[in-house]
Amino acid sequence: MSEKKQLIIPRTLKGFRDYLPETMIPRERLMEIAQQVYRSYGFVPIDTPALEYYEILSGKGSDETDKQLYKFEDHGGRMVGLRFDLTVPFARFSAQYIGQIGTPFKRYHIGKVWRGENTQAGRYREFLQCDFDTIGTESIVSDIETTLVIHDLLNAIGFESGYKIHINNRMVLSGLLEKLGLLEKNAPILRALDKLKKIGRANVAAEMVAVADITEQQADFVLQLAELKGTSDHILTSLSAMVSGNAIGEEGVEKLQTVIKNVQATGISENVVEIDVSIARGLDYYTGTIYETFLKELPSIGSVCSGGRYDNLAGLYTKQKLPGIGASLGLDRLLAAMEELGKIEKTATTAEVFIPYFEEKRLSDYLKLATELRKSGIRVEIYPEVKKLGQQLKYADKRGFLYVIIIGSEEFDQEICQLKNMKTGETQNCRIYEIGNFLKGNALL
Region for 102 from its dihedrals, namely left if φ exceeds 0, alpha if ψ lies in -120 to 50, beta otherwise: left
Helix ranges restricted to H, 282-358: 331-340
Should residue 65 be labelled a site residue for a second copy when binding is judged by CB under 8 A? no
According to CB under 8 A, which residues from 214 to 253 bind a second copy? none
Applying CB under 8 A, the span of 193-201, 288-296, 361-369, 407-415 interacting with a second copy comes to 361-369
> Applying CB under 8 A, which of residues 62, 64, 78, 440 lies at the interface with a second copy?
78
Is residue 104 part of the contact set for a second copy (CB under 8 A)?
A: yes
Q: Does 53 bind a second copy (CB under 8 A)?
A: yes
* Cβ burial, residue 90 (10 Å; 0-12/13-18/19+): buried
By rule CB under 8 A, what string of x and - marks binding of each residue 148-177 to a second copy? x---x-------------------------
**If binding is defined by CB under 8 A, does position 134 make contact with a second copy?**
yes
Q: Are 93 and 324 in contact (CB under 8 A)?
A: no
- The CA distances from residue 142 to 106, 136, 193, 205, 396, in Å, are 10, 10, 26, 34, 48
Question: Judged by CB under 8 A, which stretch of 103-111, 189-197, 200-208, 301-309 contacts a second copy?
Answer: 103-111
Residue 198 vs 319, nearer CB to a second copy: 319
Alpha-carbon distance of 334 to 154, in angstroms, equals 10
Q: Which residue lies nearer to a second copy by CB, 213 or 360?
A: 360
Of the candidates 296, 368, 431, 440, which one interacts with a second copy according to CB under 8 A? 368
Q: How far is Cα 169 from Cα 287, in angstroms, rounded to an integer?
A: 8
Among 47, 216, 340, 415, binds a second copy (CB under 8 A): 47
Q: Name the region of 313 (left: φ>0; alpha: ψ -120 to 50; beta: rest).
A: alpha
Which member of 129, 142, 174, 246 binds a second copy (CB under 8 A)?
Answer: 142
CB of 276 to a second copy, least distance (A): 22
Enumerate residues 254-273 that contact a second copy by CB under 8 A: 261-262, 265-267
Say how many residues touch a second copy, by CB under 8 A: 106
Nearest C-alpha neighbor of 256 from the set 288, 215, 208 = 288
- Residue 42 binds to a second copy (criterion: CB under 8 A): yes
135 belongs to the binding site for a second copy (CB under 8 A): no
Cα dihedral 413→418→419→424 (10° resolution): 180
Residue 17 sits in the site that holds a second copy (CB under 8 A): yes
Contact between 274 and a second copy by CB under 8 A: the answer reads: no
Q: Quick one: which segment of 43-51, 171-179, 271-279, 330-338 binds a second copy (CB under 8 A)?
A: 43-51
Q: How far is the CB of 411 from a second copy (least distance, A)?
A: 18
**Shortest gap between Cβ of 367 and a second copy (angstroms)?**
5
- Closest distance to a second copy from the beta carbon of 201 (Å): 35
Residue 315 DSSP class: T
Q: Which is nearer to a second copy, 141 or 228 (CB)?
A: 141
Interface segment toward a second copy; rule CB under 8 A; list 28-36, 178-186, 232-240, 433-441: 28-36
> Terminus-to-terminus CA distance in the chain, angstroms?
51
From 96-104, 199-207, 241-249, 422-430, give the range in contact with a second copy by CB under 8 A. 96-104
293 in Cβ contact with 329 (< 8 Å) = no
Under the criterion CB under 8 A, does residue 183 sit at the interface with a second copy?
Answer: no
The values of phi and psi at residue 273, to 5°, are: -130, 120
Q: Is 240 helix (H, G, I), strand (E, B) or coil?
A: helix
32 CA to centre of own chain? 11
CA angle (407 as vertex; 401, 409 as ends), nearest 5 = 155
